Amino acid sequence: MKQPLFALLLVAAAPAPDPAALRATIAKLVGFGTRHTLSTTTDPARGIGASRRWVAGRFAEIGRGCGNCLAVETIGTRAAGPRAPAGVRVEDVIAVQKGVGDPDRVVIVQGHIDSRVNDVMDASTDAPGANDDASGVALVIEAARILSAQKFPATIVYAVLSGEEQGLWGGQLLADTAKTRGWKVAAVLNNDIVGNTHGIGGEHVDTAVRVFSEGIEAAADLPAIKQSRAIGGEDDSPSRALAKAIVRIADADKRIGLDVIAVRRPDRFQRGGDHIPFLEAGYPAVRFTEATEDYDRQHQTVRTENGRQYGDTIAFVDFPYLAKVTALNVATLRQLATAPAAPTGVSIAGAVSDDTHVVWASVPGARGYRVRWRRADGFAWTDYRDVPASVTALDLPHVNIDDHFFGVSAIGAGRAESLVTFAGVPPRPAPGSSK
């Protein structure tokens, strides 16, 4: 299988994530004592309010370094639930780097700033949350620092969310905001628990990261699910296509130093994160989480019991590893913010013949298309053919439709590739149409 060189070239152009900068951000966030969603919002030095204001200031500072290329906003809503019976104002801090070609198309990178201890209602005890999820917040800020040095056709949104531990409220707020503002969300990269490399079982893994994606789409209705089932489309949802793109990006640049474990479920078993509201809204979203977790360092009050240390403190964050996960996010954001939109109307025909005919709708701004296929028992796309932008149909002789899956992506500047749209059945001709 050929590995496209463009990914290497794109990554080579970028400054690398800086472990010291990541450490400084996490140390600052831990210094607010607790960042519990129900903690103080008025204290200047402690609690979630002060920490959010610090993030907004950090985004503003980065924005000044790029000629005010970042619009920094705090968006908010009132939320209530079992974990906030009296209700609470939930606020997300976002920095918007407006695209210069197709600004309605948006890629989002996010982490959550709120933290907790054992008692999810305890808003006053120190809750450092160094890994869960100051690591994700540090990654988002570092991505902004690196990517704001360049201009991209699509808009990049750097998002620091609240209310995750109380009910995924910050993720819901941003997904709702995307809908309200009419963003065409091309990808959501949710980073939650991305800085630890020592698992609770004693294993040490600093060369892999897990990327969780959905197969059957939360946003699909029953007819759409049945249609997908009928053609074997359950491994090629937009979320899964995003995970596969991340695998290819990591494989194309070995200097990032990460294997992607593309877990084929939306999150860890029976758990959730801030990508879930985006999946429910029909946007392609994935979750990044370290390859091996230590549950003594999550949601635990800092303490030592029988010689065993508990708590999510900065001592257990592996900064070179967090820098690698940041590099993979940056490479993915760069590619998807450069690429055109993913094609629509991708369909195949060729039953009871030896050839497959692929057609798709043209994409504004595309410089070409890549038709991909793989054997129908495999996960990753193995074969492709590139065609110029003038072409929107391709015959693949001797590639049997029954034994293969097909998809099409759009190619932009620097050979940046969109997500691959899975090929389905052709739409029925409109009544009265001559074809």
Taking the least distance from each CB to Zn ion, the nearer of 168 and 346 is 168
Nearest distance from residue 327's CB to Zn ion, in Å? 21
Taking the least distance from each CB to Zn ion, the nearer of 132 and 253 is 132
Taking the least distance from each CB to Zn ion, the nearer of 287 and 374 is 287
Nearest distance from residue 298's CB to Zn ion, in Å? 8
Any bridge partners for residue 301, and if so which?
Answer: none
* CA 35 from centroid of its chain's CA atoms: 23
Nearest distance from residue 162's CB to Zn ion, in Å? 12
Nearest distance from residue 289's CB to Zn ion, in Å? 9
Where in 314-382 does DSSP place strands (E)?
347-349, 356-359, 368-375
Residue whose token pair is 């002060």? 50
Where in 82-144 does DSSP place strands (E)?
84-97, 105-112
Parallel, antiparallel or unpaired: strands 356-359 and 347-349: antiparallel
Nearest distance from residue 256's CB to Zn ion, in Å? 23
Any bridge partners for residue 371, and if so which?
Answer: 385, 408
Buried b (16+ CB within 10 A) or exposed e, 261-285: ebbeebbeeeebbbbbbbbbbebbb
Any bridge partners for residue 94, and if so which?
Answer: 73, 159
Taking the least distance from each CB to Zn ion, the nearer of 125 and 227 is 125
Taking the least distance from each CB to Zn ion, the nearer of 133 and 142 is 133
Nearest distance from residue 75's CB to Zn ion, in Å? 20
**Residue in 333, 330, 419, 409 with CA at minimum distance from that of residue 108:** 333
Rounded to 10°, the helix 48-64/19-30 angle is 150
Taking the least distance from each CB to Zn ion, the nearer of 192 and 206 is 192
Residues that bind Zn ion (CB under 5 A): 132-133, 192
**Residue in 404, 410, 397 with CA at minimum distance from that of residue 361:** 410
Nearest distance from residue 164's CB to Zn ion, in Å? 5
Rounded to 10°, the helix 319-338/134-147 angle is 50
Nearest distance from residue 114's CB to Zn ion, in Å? 8
Taking the least distance from each CB to Zn ion, the nearer of 192 and 235 is 192
Handedness of CA 48, 54, 60, 65 (dihedral sign): negative
Contact 383, 396 (CB under 8 A): no
Taking the least distance from each CB to Zn ion, the nearer of 161 and 371 is 161
